[in-house]
Structure 1
Amino acid sequence: MDDRRPGAGGADVPLEQHRQLITWYVLFALTQVTALALILIDNNSLADRLTAAGLLCLNGLWFVLYGRRLVVRGDDDWHGFVYVAGSLATFAPAVWFSGSATFALFGLVPQIYMVLPIAWAFFPMVLFVFTPQILTWVAGAVPALPWPAALLIIGFSHAFGWAVSRIAQQNQQRGELLQRVEALTIEAERARWSADIHDTLAQGFTSIITLLQGAQPNVELALQTARENLREARALVASNAPSPLDGSTLEDALRRLVSGAALPSTFRVIGDPVGLQTSAEVVLLRTVQEALHNVARHSGASRVDVVMRFDEDSVSLEVRDDGRGFGEAPEGFGLRGMRARLEQVGGTLSLSSDGQNDQTGASVLVEVPL
C-alpha cells in the first residue's frame, strides 16, 4: 500500500508529512479563531470589530487558496513573497481596526518560515511583529507591547522559524529517501523475476527443444520437463519456493533435476546431509539448474556429474562436464545471476577448466556456509 495522501494541487504527500501538515493547519485555525474571538469581545466599536474580523477571515482564506499550496510544495521561491505580501495586506488593516488581531501572529509567523527560506524569512517576520507597534505609534498611542519585549519576540520567532524550517527540510529529505528506496526495491524485484524466469522457464523450454530434437525416445522426458516448468510458473506467480522443493528435501529435488537433464548425468552426496535455510536451498537448486542449462547449451559435453558435499561449516555443489570448457568467453547473464544469488546467502562461486586432451571440461563449484 502506498503511504501517500493527495495534497494541494493534486500533489501526493507522504503520510507522515500529511499528518504533520494537518497539525500545523489545526494550529493556524486555532490562532485565527482565537484572534477572531478576542476581536469580537474587545472595547472597539462594532464597525471596527466587524471590519477587523472580516479582514482576518480574508487572511485565512488567502492561506487556504494560495499559501497552503506553497506549504505543501515547499518550493521556497518568489511565490512565498507574494503570499507574505497578501497576508500582510490583510493582517495590518485588521490590527489597525482592532489591536486584538495581533494574536494572529502566532499562526502567521510559522507560515512565513514555511513559504520562504530562513535567510529571506527574517525580514518579513520582523515587519509582521513590528506592525502592531508601528500602527500604534502612527495612531499616536502608546504601544501596549514595550519595544524590548518586541525584540525578544523577534528573537524567539526566528529561533522557532529555524526549527520549523529544519523540520520541513528533514521531511523533504525523508520523502526523497523513501522514493529512492521504493525505486531500488522495484528494481531488485524486477531483477529477481528476471533471474527466476531465466533459471526456470527459459532453461526448461531449452531442455524440451533439445529432447525433442533427439527423436521419439525423449518425448516422454520432454513432457515431464514441460509439466515441471508449468509448476515452476505457477510457483513464481504465487511467490512460493521453487516447485521441485515442494514437499521434498533438497537432495531429492536435485536428484530429480539431474535425472531430467538433457545429457547423461549422475548425482551423488558426500557427507551427512543437514537441514539448510530455505533461502540457501533455493540458491543451490537454482545454481544447479543454471549450470545444467549452460552445459546443455554451450559446452558440447557428452555427460555431466553433480556432487553435493556436506562439510562441518559449509555445503558445496560441483557441476562438472567433459565439454569444451569456458575458454575466454565473458560471463553471461546466467553466471552473473548465480553470483548475485550466492552473495545474498554469503556463498561463493568458482569456475575452472581442466585442460585434458582435446576436451578440457569445465567445473562450476558453489559453496554456502552452514
Structure 2
Amino acid sequence: MDKHQSLITWYVLFAITQATALVLILIDNNTLADRVLAAGLLCLNGLWFLFYGRKLVRRGKDDWQGFVYAAGSLATFAPAVWFSGSATFALFGLVPQLYMVLPVAWAFFPMAVFVFTPQILTWAAGAVPALPWPGALLIIGFSQAFGWAISRIAQQNEQRGELLQRIEALTLEAERARWAAEIHDTLAQGYTSIITLLQGAEPNVSLALQTARENLREARALVASNAPSPLDGSSLEDALRRLVSGVSLPSSFRVIGNAVPLATSVEVVLLRTAQEALHNVARHSGASRVDVVMRFDSDDVSLEVRDDGRGFGDAPEGFGLRGMRARLEQVGGTLSLSSDEGASVLVEVPL
C-alpha cells in the first residue's frame, strides 16, 4: 500500500468515527440544545482537521505544529463531551491523528489528556464516569502501543518507498548502460566500417551495402528488444562465421571440440565480444590478418580473437573493452588480454 492509499484509509476511519459520534449524539437523552451544541462542536472539530490537520498528515513531518493541531482539536472535542458524553466515541478517530502529526514520545501527553477528558468532565459535573479510571489507564497504554505501531508502519512504508526509488534508478541506469553497449557494439561499429570501406575504393561498395543492411537489422532488433539479428534463425557458429567473413582483411574462423547448446545470453555475449574485438582489430591494430577460434571444453566455452598487429601497448582500456567485461560478468565469464606477437582477446564462459 503506498502513502496515498494509506492516507485515504485514515481519512475514511476518521470520517466513520466522526459520523458515528454525531449519530450517537443526536439520539441520546440530552436536551435538544445540548445535542445541537455537541454536534456543532464535533463538526467544527472535523473542519479543523480538514483545513489544518490534514495538511500536517500529508506533509508527514512531526514537529511543534502537531501540538497546535492537538490544542485546537481538544478545544472543540472537550466542550462537545461536556454537552454530550456520546461525543467520546470520536476518540477512536482523534487519538490516531495525534500519532500522525507528533513523534511517538511527544504524542503520549496530548493523547492522555484526550482520553482523560471525558473522565475529568464527568467527575467535574458531579457524576460517576461511565469508564472506570483503571479502564482509562488501560486505554492510554493501548493507545501508546497502537501509536508506536502506526509510527513503525509509516517508517517502513517510507523506507520501502525510498528503496523502490533506488531500485528504479539503478534499473534505469543499467538499461541505459545496456543500450549504450548495444549501440556501440552494433550501429556505431557498423557505420564506422561503412565509412572506412567507402573511403577505400569502389570495390568495397558492395561490402559497405552488406554492412549497412546488417546494421539496419540490428537497429530493428534493438527496438524490438530481440536477440541480435545475426543470431536470428541461425546458430552461433554460423553467425560468427559470417561476422568473420565480413572483415576487410584476411581472416579465418574455426571451431574446436564438440559444440553444445548454449543459453541465449551466452550466445549474445560471445557474439558481441567477437564484434567488438574484430572492430578493434580493423580500426586500431594495423594487423594484416585476424583469426577467430571457438573452443568447447568439458567445463567451459572459449572464444579467442588473435591478430598480428601492434598489440595493446600501454593504452588504457576503452569503452569497448569495459563493455566486454560488463557483459561477461553477467554470465560469469572472464576476459584475458595479451600482446605476444600481436594481440589476443580471450573470453571464457563456464558451461
Partner of 2:342: 361
CA distance in 2, matches of 1:168, 1:363: 57
Equivalent residue number for residue 205 of structure 2: 219
What is the correspondence of 1:74-85 to structure 2 with a 5 Å cutoff?
74-85=60-71
- Structure 2, unaligned stretches of length 5 or more? none
- Is the 1:302–1:323 contact (alpha carbons within 8 Å) kept by the matching residues of 2? yes
TM-score (norm 2): 0.96
Q: CA deviation at 1:285?
A: 0.6
Once the two structures are TM-superposed, the CA of residue 26 in structure 1 deviates from its matched residue by 2.5
Residue 21 of structure 1 pairs with residue 2 of structure 2: no
Match of 2:98 in 1: 112
SS of 2:255's equivalent in the other structure is strand
1:47 and 2:28 correspond: no
Q: Give the secondary structure class of the aligned counterpart of 2:113.
A: helix
The structural deviation recorded for 1:144 is: 2.4
Residue 249, structure 1, aligned to residue 230, structure 2: no
User: Which residue of the other structure, out of 271, 288, 299, is the alignment partner of 2:257?
Assistant: 271
Q: Could you tell me how far 1:217 is from its partner in structure 2?
A: 1.2
CA distance in 1, matches of 2:284, 2:68: 69
* Aligned residue in 2 for 1:66: 52
CA contact (8 A) 1:301 1:324 kept: yes
Counterpart Cα distance in 2 of 1:263 and 1:67: 76
Q: Which residue of 2 aligns with 1:285?
A: 271
Give the equivalent residue in structure 2 for 1:260. 246
- Equivalent residue letter for 1:208: I
The answer to whether 1:205 aligns with 2:191 is: yes
Per the alignment, in what secondary structure is the counterpart of residue 128 of structure 1?
Answer: helix
Within the alignment, does 1:317 sit opposite 2:303 as a pair?
yes
- Would you say 1:334 and 2:334 are equivalent positions? no
Distance in 1, matches of 2:292 and 2:335, equals: 15
The answer to whether structure 1 residue 169 and structure 2 residue 155 are counterparts is: yes
The normalised TM-score by structure 1 is: 0.91
Question: Partners in 2 of 1:283 and 1:318 — Cα distance?
Answer: 13
Opposite residue 109 of structure 1, the aligned amino acid is V
Letter of the 1:220 partner, please give it: S
SS in 2 for 1:30: helix
What residue identity is the alignment partner of 2:51?
L
**2: CA distance, partners of 1:263 / 1:94:** 94
**1:21 Cα deviation after fit:** 2.9
Equivalence map 1:342-361=2 (5 Å): 342-354=328-340, 360-361=341-342
Between the aligned partners of 1:173 and 1:16, the Cα distance in structure 2 is 11
1:249 & 1:135 partners in 2: Cα distance? Answer: 87
Give the C-alpha shift of residue 176 in structure 1: 0.7
Q: Whole-Å Cα distance in 2 between the matches of residues 206 and 25 of structure 1?
A: 62
Structure-2 separation of matches of 1:66 and 1:244 = 64
Q: Letter of the aligned partner of 1:29 in structure 2?
A: A
Secondary structure of 2:346's partner?
Answer: strand
Matches within 5 A, 1:191-202: 191-202=177-188
Cα deviation 1:269-309 (Å, max 9, x = unaligned): 11111111111111111101111111111111111111011
Shift of 1:68: 2.7
Match of 1:149 in 2: 135
Displacement after TM superposition at 1:96 (Å): 1.6
Rounded to whole Å, the distance in 2 between the matches of 1:32 and 1:270 is 80
SS at match of 2:2: helix
Deviations 1:131-159 (A, max 9, x none): 11222233333322222221111111101
Q: What amino acid does structure 1 have at the position aligned with 2:339?
A: S
- Aligned length, in residue pairs: 351
Deviations along 1:49-77, one digit per CA (max 9) or x if unpaired, are 11111221222233233323332332112
Match of 1:296 among 282, 292, 298: 282
CA change 1:350–1:127 in 2 (3 A) is same
| Whole-angstrom distance in 1 between the partners of 2:179 and 2:47 | 51
Residue 6 (structure 1) aligns with: none
1:125 to 2:106 alignment: no
Contact 1:299/1:324 (<8 A) preserved: yes
Checking the alignment, whether the CA contact within 8 Å between 1:210 and 1:262 is kept in structure 2 is no
Report the secondary structure of 1:124's partner residue: helix
Q: Secondary structure at the match of 1:365?
A: strand
CA distance in 1, matches of 2:203, 2:193: 14
Distance 2:231 2:49 in 1: 61
Task: Report Cα offsets for 1:198-227 as digits up to 9, x if no partner.
Answer: 111111111112212221111100110011
